[in-house]
Homo-oligomer: A and B are copies of this chain.
């Protein structure tokens, strides 16, 4: 049953705080929509059900949009091209047993994102024992297993290499490599984030949709695009036989399989690392965290990490776990552009942007724009190189964020606050000139023992209104 997936962008309810919306069937637009479904003579019963489902989904989306609009009015957030929500994802595949959603064409929202415009972020959600059938991409892909226990099969010209995927595992899939995925857990869902990137500086992925493999006609394989006669000649077979093989597969592209089949695909332990063409997965938690204290920890894997599979890619992966009620320091990346995906928890994000083209003859009281957003699971925010920012966890939950940092070579994280910071690093005279104060006074404020993660407790915050209450 191939529900048209493009139509249901909005049902991307990833990880999912299911928003219970009471469907007001009394909305006249919804009624009209459903009525029209029934009136379509060319539709069979199946088509009508899909049509009506789409009416419901459209209605939900509309309600959510309105709800979102109100939220925004409440928060008085400015238009923020750096932040993406569920509605900005395209659900490119949506079956009973799993779903793939893609956030691509970052440039659509703003040319401020041109440094990440050739990148795409996909998320896969697969139910227990689901099988994602073989496919390939026209881009280089880095998979990050956010949650659950998977198997990935990478197909070479004459065999297939399989690897187990655990939470925190990173694996690089070279451009064009046919792969399949399995959720090998019998109960838990599998959640994978994937960064799609150009396979060389000069090239750009044309699309982030997968080319699905050789089998199946509905959902169909790429082979269905070829003429029957071409296929007959290519496979030296008759039309009848062709159909009997290619059309046998009637399942969706993601479907539940038997336990025995899951076991049948378990990786053979002995082979790796002695043979094999592909790098196996590398676990981000196998390294010591770059920063860790009671307020949070940051794990990083970069291109200089051997055996990580990221060699030569100019990409760094990081995973931040910010303790509830805590925050990261205010810092910026010198070279890297960060694409951050909120895995778990809630929180808040603030970033300083240099202001552009303020309208003439208006004395602006502020030379920098504040960009801010509340963070929820499934949200994406982009932090360009050079832009100072901060992330803060809510009082209720740890905030877990996986970040893909592109253009990571020679990148440094420079902080304004914490044990090591660029204010303390200023020499005495320059510091005094910059602040118009004695260096001791400046140091007094900028010195603190913690590094990178701090408590977000503020003593005298009563007079403070605004956006930062989380």
Contact = CB atoms under 8 A, between A and B. Distances in A.
A437 interface: yes
A445 interface: yes
A112 B220 contact: no
Contacts of A229: 458, 461, 464, 466, 468-469
A330 B223 CA distance: 9
Contact of A236 (B199, B386, B430, B454): B454
Given A134-B430, A234-B390, 19 more contacts: A4-B358, A6-B358, A47-B363, A115-B203, A131-B433, A133-B433, A158-B424, A200-B407, A207-B356, A211-B354, A216-B436, A222-B368, A225-B353, A225-B370, A230-B330, A232-B459, A236-B454, A249-B436, A249-B437
A199 B407 contact: yes
Given A199-B407, A227-B370, A425-B160, A386 B436 contact: no
A74 interface: no
Per DSSP, chain A at the interface is loop
7 contacts: A4-B360, A4-B363, A202-B407, A203-B385, A214-B446, A242-B445, A250-B436
A425 B215 contact: no
Interface residues of A, number: 158
Interface string A221-264: 01111111111111111110110010011110000010001001
A368 B226 CA distance: 9
Interface string A360-404: 110110111110100000000000111110101000000000000
B220 A366 contact: yes
Contacts of A180: 426, 430, 434
Contacts of A214: 416, 422-423, 434-435, 446
A157 B265 contact: no
Interface stretch (A20-28, A170-178, A186-194, A285-293): A170-178
Interface stretch (A61-69, A316-324, A333-341): A333-341
A7 interface: yes
A360 B61 CA distance: 15
A415 to B, nearest CB: 8
A50 B363 contact: yes
B227 A427 contact: no
Given A199-B335, A213-B434, A226-B350, A239 B460 contact: yes
A467 interface: yes
A73 interface: no
Contacts of A7: 360-361
Of A230, A250, A459, the most chain B CB neighbours within 10 A belong to A230
A56 interface: no
Contacts of A353: 225
A108 interface: no
A275 interface: no
A327 interface: yes
Contact of A436 (B231, B251, B372): B251
Interface in A56-107: none
A345 interface: no
Contacts of A437: 245, 248-249
A230 B468 contact: yes
A225 B115 contact: no
Given A211-B386, A354-B211, A455 B233 contact: yes
Nearest to A460: B238
Given A437-B245, A463-B239, A314 B115 contact: no
